[in-house]
Structure 1
């Protein structure tokens, strides 16, 4: 074999090996990234399922006793506490952003929708011993209303479906978010929370 041809073949083989190694590495990296993304998605989904399972029994207990729909309670807890991950929920067991005063409260930052825009303000929020205590107090708020209107949430308690209950919360100014009812309904439908309604 011609010596020049031999070196050409050797160089071509080396180039093919290098190109193969590069693309092989690239494919491996891509699969690894996809695998890690899938693992993250599965972990987040499990955390969400676990959160729902943890608070659902107390929400159902409150519905049985006081007729506040479990799906609404769970959806509010999800939305207000970011799946139990907010500082207020983690550190002070307040799942619903319920305001408070005195020794059993903490000053925290919160976002409210005012004059067509989101603003950060400081507010004083209740501190609870557990998430169950927070759920029980949320139910109490629905039953007893606010200090200025004891019937403020009566339409929520008397609602016969979660869509009406969600709209009643918005109509009663539970939150400043103009899309509050829509967000609650979306959460309920996405995670089939109406299965927890008695």
Structure 2
């Protein structure tokens, strides 16, 4: 039996493709289930995008965890019947229909969508954020991995932890700040405009002050491309003495904790969150490609 979350797992997807080539009829129910899970995931993503504005606790980290929750919810719903069209797909290609869906109470899921966390998205114009250039987490990794490798080589740090930090800061590229005229800032690392003479993007942000979250507005650096963002990130760390200990780290964990200790972010769980993203299958699969000698 293939794992329920196969459409979010490149290895699982490859297994499903092999199963379909070997016996398409037998694999039809699983293929239909994954198609429905993908549809439900996109449906929930669209609903998130239709919010009227940011909530008090919104931010890149909250958005990332909401995305993970909704992906898992989509998988669970499709595994237990979903909207029903998975069965129709399976029947159309000669496979057997999945068993009927149990009740929401039996699944431990909320009734309807009222139980989901608040969802919002700021507008494109006026310094807000918008759906980014990446249509999936895989696309985020594929496009940015070469830049992360280059920055990692310059810093002597595993490029995967740099990519994990970018994913955390932007929710896998879905919350990249935009300038007042709606242009993308390409700022993947939440670097503010202190000492910066270039363009900026002014956006609302959440900061921990005296142990409590506070809503603030801040100016962030704006770049001309993602390549420039990675180059400035490497320059920012090397030119600031407070990050020397982080850059001297021998592994990803020490680097992440070094960033937090140096005050890179006010979130007291910043390092733990970076390492949590680093442990995701998409980044773990890059292990063989890491070429700068650092170990995760």
What TM-score do you get using the length of structure 1 for normalisation?
0.72
* RMSD between superposed Cα atoms in Å: 2.7
Distance across 1 between alignment mates of 2:249 and 2:157: 8
> Residues 99 and 126 of structure 1 are in contact (CA less than 8 Å); yes or no, is this contact kept in structure 2?
yes
> Residues 70 and 194 of structure 1 are in contact (CA less than 8 Å); yes or no, is this contact kept in structure 2?
no
> Residues 74 and 193 of structure 1 are in contact (CA less than 8 Å); yes or no, is this contact kept in structure 2?
no
| Alpha-carbon spacing, 1:193–1:128, altered in 2? closer, same or farther (3 Å) | farther
The residue that corresponds to 1:23 in the other structure is none
Q: Deviations over 1:32-90 (max 9, x none)?
A: 99853343449988711110111110111122233133122101100111111114177
More helix by share: 1
Q: Does 1:55 align with 2:144?
A: yes
User: RCO (CA 8 Å, sep 6+): is it higher in 1 or 2?
Assistant: 1
The residue that corresponds to 2:272 in the other structure is 182
Runs of 5+ unmatched residues, structure 2 = 1-31, 46-66, 72-134, 292-296
The residue that corresponds to 1:79 in the other structure is 168
Q: Does 1:136 align with 2:226?
A: no
What TM-score do you get using the length of structure 2 for normalisation?
0.50
Distance across 2 between alignment mates of 1:34 and 1:61: 35
Query: What displacement does 1:193 show?
Result: 6.5
- Runs of 4+ more than 6 Å apart: 42-46
| Alpha-carbon spacing, 1:87–1:66, altered in 2? closer, same or farther (3 Å) | closer
The residue that corresponds to 1:39 in the other structure is 39
Distance across 2 between alignment mates of 1:98 and 1:166: 16
Distance across 1 between alignment mates of 2:197 and 2:184: 17
Q: Alignment partner for residue 251 of structure 2, among 161, 170, 173?
A: 161
The alignment covers a number of residue pairs equal to 162
Which one has the largest radius of gyration?
1
> Residues 190 and 220 of structure 2 are in contact (CA less than 8 Å); yes or no, is this contact kept in structure 1?
yes
The residue that corresponds to 2:208 in the other structure is 113
Q: Where do 1:6-25 residues align within 5 Å?
A: none
Query: What displacement does 1:97 show?
Result: 1.0
Distance across 1 between alignment mates of 2:268 and 2:232: 24
Query: What displacement does 1:122 show?
Result: 0.6
Q: Deviations over 1:131-185 (max 9, x none)?
A: 111111111111111xxxxx21112222111011111011111000010011011
| Alpha-carbon spacing, 1:50–1:103, altered in 2? closer, same or farther (3 Å) | closer
